[in-house]
Amino acid sequence: MTSSATSLTASPFDVSGRVVAVTGASKGIGWALVQALAAAGATVIGGARDVSGLTLPGATFLPLDVTDETSVGAFAEAAKQAGVDSLVNNAGVGSFLPVQDITPAEYHRVMDTNVLGTLLVTRALIGQFQARHARGHTSSLVNITSDVSGRTFAGGALYTASKYAQRAITQALAHEGHSYGLRVTEIRPGMVDTYFADSQQGEAHKAAWLRPEDVAQATLYALSAPAHARIDEILLHPTVQDVAF
């Protein structure tokens, strides 16, 4: 099992009784989020392409490829059966190449995972959120985008294009979801110490970066907002990251 070695402190956020679907649940931010949600009393349906060996009380892990409609359909069906009330679109991949080196294959790897994946999983659960609204309940959706969903840099064309697109989808969905009681939040982390872009968690140069648990707690904050409040956006950075980058 891939997992963070960092232990969790008790969460001040109450998500007991909630049923939360999390994509990209096997490592990094997603795995920290699954642990934090389960520790705070939520039931979690977690998906990733490789979920072998993953076990945690309060969580069910299912194979999920967010780029594949059939896989997404099976995941969404299991989440509906469990009574899902919240979705966290977290699955994502990184790619940092100058424009002249971006191939169509790399374009599809990144855009299909980060953009199409967000659309497919969201779309598969909107009927559930609408049905909950008809019964008088609100639902929640959190998209883990990035601080670069609104700025870019050399070598960032493809990744930031995917994150700008996720931000646009998030904001459009917030407009649409207003009519069916869906509270939509964009969480925009700066540098986080995970397995992102083929790196390893715990590398020395990332010691002062955000921990996946920091992003998990921000997500719990958004999910546990009282019914009369909506957290539209959270932008968080490690202290060492200059605000200009």
Tell which positions 12-41 bind ligand NAP, by CB under 6 A: 23-30
CB 57 within 8 A of CB 72: no
Is 140 among the residues that bind ligand NAP (CB under 6 A)? no
**Least separation, in Å, of the C-beta of 17 and ligand NAP?**
25
Is 50 among the residues that bind ligand NAP (CB under 6 A)? yes
Cβ contacts of residue 222 below 8 Å, gap of 6+?
140, 142, 185, 187, 231, 234
Is 91 among the residues that bind ligand NAP (CB under 6 A)? yes
Q: Which listed residue (40, 45, 54, 64) binds ligand NAP by CB under 6 A?
A: 64
Is 192 among the residues that bind ligand NAP (CB under 6 A)? yes
For 83: left if phi > 0, alpha if psi spans -120 to 50, otherwise beta; the answer is left
Distance CA 35, CA 40 (A): 9
Task: Annotate each residue in 147-186 with x if it binds ligand NAP (CB under 6 A) or - if it does not, as one string.
Answer: ----------------------------------------
Tell which positions 107-126 bind ligand NAP, by CB under 6 A: 113, 117
Is 92 among the residues that bind ligand NAP (CB under 6 A)? yes
**Least separation, in Å, of the C-beta of 53 and ligand NAP?**
11
Distance CA 8, CA 6 (A): 7
Neighbours of 242 (CB within 10 A): 7
- 116 vs 126, which CB is nearer to ligand NAP? 116
In terms of Cα–Cα distance, which of 83, 172, 179, 186 is closest to 141? Answer: 186
Round to the nearest angstrom and report the end-to-end CA distance of the chain: 33
Active-site positions? 159
Task: Please give the residue ranges that form the binding site for ligand NAP (CB under 6 A).
Answer: 23-30, 48-50, 64-67, 90-93, 113, 117, 144, 146, 189, 191-192, 194-196
